């Protein structure tokens, strides 16, 4: 008879629901995916995809991602994103001075990349890409190396590009 209360409590603890505003407070942290990878020469090795989200204020976050692909290709991007409705949107400046737009959205229990602005061209190797990459929301962990992260060159550069003092 009280099962509906348990169902309500379970649903109300979900950190983000598709169609809702992107909730930095519940989504900030580090996400990792480990998987077997390989190279064209037949060698096998372990790879790890990483996504870090650090809240700067209720609508802004530093984001860094490193994704690994077959034959050692990667996507690597860091920048400041802003909450725009149901997405955390990054518009980092590429080395060429051009911009891309990369969105993080919560869908089907995972943080998923939506590369609507051509970021692959600037931040990925030949076999890499953001489309289709995802991290389970339940895999979020606290960032235990925050001092080192905030002292990194990537963090300082991202804040400078966004015009945020540090």
Evaluate whether 86 touches 18 at the Cβ level (below 8 Å). Answer: yes
What is the rounded distance in angstroms from the CA atom of residue 125 to the CA atom of residue 129?
8
For 98, the token pair is 């051009």
How confident is the prediction along the chain (166 residues), in pLDDT tens digits per residue?
333 333 333 333 444 444 578 999 999 999 999 999 999 999 999 999 999 999 999 999 999 999 999 999 999 999 999 999 999 999 887 666 677 899 999 999 999 999 876 899 889 998 899 998 999 999 999 999 999 999 999 999 999 989 997 6
The Cα 36–Cα 34 span in angstroms is 7
- The Cα 85–Cα 34 span in angstroms is 30
Residue 128, pLDDT score? 92
What pLDDT, on a 0 to 100 scale, did the predictor assign at position 115?
A: 86
CA angle 58, 135, 149 (to 5 degrees): 55
Question: Looking at residue 166, what is its pLDDT?
Answer: 61
The residues spanned by each domain of the chain are: 3-162
């Amino acid at each position: 008879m009280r099962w509906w209360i348990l169902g309500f409590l379970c649903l109300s603890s979900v950190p983000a629901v598709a169609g809702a505003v992107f909730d930095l407070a519940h989504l900030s942290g580090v996400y990792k995916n480990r998987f077997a990878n390989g190279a064209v020469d037949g060698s096998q090795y372990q790879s790890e995809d990483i996504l870090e989200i650090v809240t700067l204020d209720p609508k802004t976050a530093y984001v860094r991602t490193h994704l690994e692909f077959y034959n050692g290709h990667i996507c690597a991007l860091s920048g400041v994103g802003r909450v725009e409705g149901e997405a955390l949107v990054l518009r980092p400046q590429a080395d060429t001075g051009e911009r891309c737009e990369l969105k993080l959205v919560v869908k089907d229990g995972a943080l998923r990349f939506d590369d609507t602005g051509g970021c692959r061209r600037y931040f990925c190797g030949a076999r890499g890409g953001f489309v289709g990459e995802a991290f389970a929301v339940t895999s979020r962990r606290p960032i235990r190396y925050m001092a080192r992260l905030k002292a990194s060159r990537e963090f300082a550069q991202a804040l400078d590009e966004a015009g945020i003092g540090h």
